Structure 1
Amino acid sequence: MQTNWWQNAVFYQVYPRSFQDSNGDGIGDIQGIIQRLDYLADLGVNAIWLSPVYQSPNVDNGYDISDYQAINPEYGSMVDMEQLIEAAKIRKIKIVMDLVVNHTSDQHPWFLEARKSKDNPYRDFYIWRDPATDGSVPNDLQSNFKGSAWAFDAVTGQYYLHFYAKEQPDLNWQNPKVREAVYQMMTWWLQKGIGGFRMDVIDLIGKEPDRKIKENGPQLHAYLQEMNARVLSQYDVVTVGETWGATPEIGQMYSNPNRHELSMIFQFEQINLDKQSGMTRWDLKPLIPAELHAVFSKWQLALDGVGWNSLFWSNHDLPRIVSRWGDDSQYREKSAQALAIYLHMLKGTPYIYQGEEIGMTNYPITSYHEIEDIESRRVYQQRQQQGYAI
């Protein structure tokens, strides 16, 4: 049976800001990644998932993009990016870009135009609604970063939708001009020689806010099939979608090759096993190993011969797995080895988060002021307001 290259590959996620600093300014950069390519090749890495290096105000660590076709100067230049793609290619390593197209930065030219007037040509690139009859928000949709998903714009007297920070307005995928602009941008990157895309919160692009539908909207799979036909099918690339609410049945839809959507998805059922029922993912309980085994077994069986699994423990959104489910002191090394053996013996494509290969632990944060992640900061503030003893 013929397989695709990504079914036999090992992926390694690089979070550029903290990976390797090449010029001593305290910020990791693209040249630093180039310096470490031989190390990654020696590890057996076949593909690098590169977290966003695009131009961004960095409200949400680069996931608020103001220019999809420019590099954040903190990380280098487009010349550096092209050097990385070529240097990786020499070592038979593919570069997989983070595709963030559920939303943009509010500093993106599309949004700067859209908010000028109701009849601006870019207005429908985003989702705008009039206030409710009492002048409040259009409905009770909530942001994933807490609070209302609607932000008021005084220039035109309407609200715009943002499922993340208010500086991250959601794109309107029902507008074919939005989809065309995204496909052109994707093609531009693929022509530079990248090996595919990790698609950030891709299960939100089918949203229908008037019906209060966030994930897995009715047009989601049609959009992905169109994307595949217009762009992805023209290249030998990998696509992995971030899908927090996916079930095995939905996973089959995404990754069944006969449906022409994605190569695989990141599903998070196992990651939620230590979450208390009815609570947030910040309210944890001890992990029950038998439940972990049951979830992995379920996904292995559900996608066998139908789709394809991704395998991961950690990423930029999650705690270090050794600190979370292992012992990050006396048995740090043995914990890391046991977790690695468990994951890499499963069928699917493994993803290693930078530092995982050496059993890296959580950073020992001692002060709120050390927290840079926007979601973590907002949860901390909310818990203080709720009277938690901190």
Structure 2
Amino acid sequence: MAASTAACTLALTPCLVPVEHPVRAHLALDDNGECTFPAQPIASVPWSLQRVMLDQLWQNSRGKGVGVAVIDTGVDARNPQLKDAVDKHDGFDLIDNKGDGTNDTVGHGTKVAGIIAARPAAGTGFVGLAPQATILPVRQNDDQGKGTAATLAEAIRKSVAAGAKVINISQDTTGVLGPDSQLAQAVQYALDQDVVVVAAAGNNGSGGQQHSTYPAAFKGVLAVGASDRNNERADFSQSGPFVGVAAPGVGMVSTVPIGGQCVDEGTSFAAPYVAAVAALIRAKHHDWHEQQVVAQIEQTAERVDPGHNNFIGWGVVDPVRALTDDAKPIDQPAPDKGLSKSGARIQPAALTLGETPQQRAERTATYALGGAALLVAVIAGGAVVVRDARRRRTTT
């Protein structure tokens, strides 16, 4: 499966690499295998939503009243699932001054917006995690790579002025930016105005080298890496000490311009998954400031280590727990004293095919005692080898 370079690189052409996926046969594709617009709706429920008990999640919040700025390639409001989600009045276009942010020739921003706030629709199992949140469409980049760090900084400030309470940035810069840069100052301005800033960690992690990407690495930004169906870091996801959490970023279904859905992958699509959770929390807890919203997401994430690591941050985001384990706000996440330092593996929720792990254990227990003891030893040793091999392959 080819990893998409969907975390658009500022000053470079946003590159959307086609993704090999079982549902490709149901999509409208051109000769290069790219998704074309419009596309056919995907009937099944995406795995990234199967892992969440949506009924329980939405009992607490659906994101109503929270504006989420999607600073990207624009958001096409013609898609029926986004028609009632997009605020054209407060949207803006930094490439075409006469635009309202809804011209998306790339499709990238429309996918990002759908993961956050796509409305339910007949004929598809896909829906946004915060289906009553409002999308503020911001066109700051395009297929010619006209976006720069300066225009991104401008977009952040204008999004704050337009009333956004959450900002999603699924882009990164081509170089290191210091705290005195325009972009750093714009991010700090948003934080000072009580706005949650969520940014993609980047897709250059396959080589194993850790480095910081911006704006994700700026202090106060919730940097999001990509996880796979096993709640492990996707091999392309950039790692580093700045990563706050991980979220589903592989085989991500979302809305495309005009109508329908396509599949893509990248930290670009993990970030809005987390931005949606931030919107849900903000809708439920109006008095929580931005740092508390971020801390809540990090504290309730599913962990493999007691605390933070450089590969999935504090863990893989758990939307339901973030909205239910919330008796009081916290300012900083804390290590989990109840989790062994050996790093108990996290298992994906509600995606078991065939027998469950418990059923399998009961069946194994019926084997002869001697054979069972040997089998358990082999399985345990094999699990450690696989886990360590995967970590060596995807980390530095």
Q: TM-score, normalised by structure 2?
A: 0.31
Q: TM-score, normalised by structure 1?
A: 0.31
Task: Identify the structure with the greater helix proportion.
Answer: 1
Task: Name the structure, 1 or 2, with higher relative contact order (CA <8 Å, separation 6+).
Answer: 2
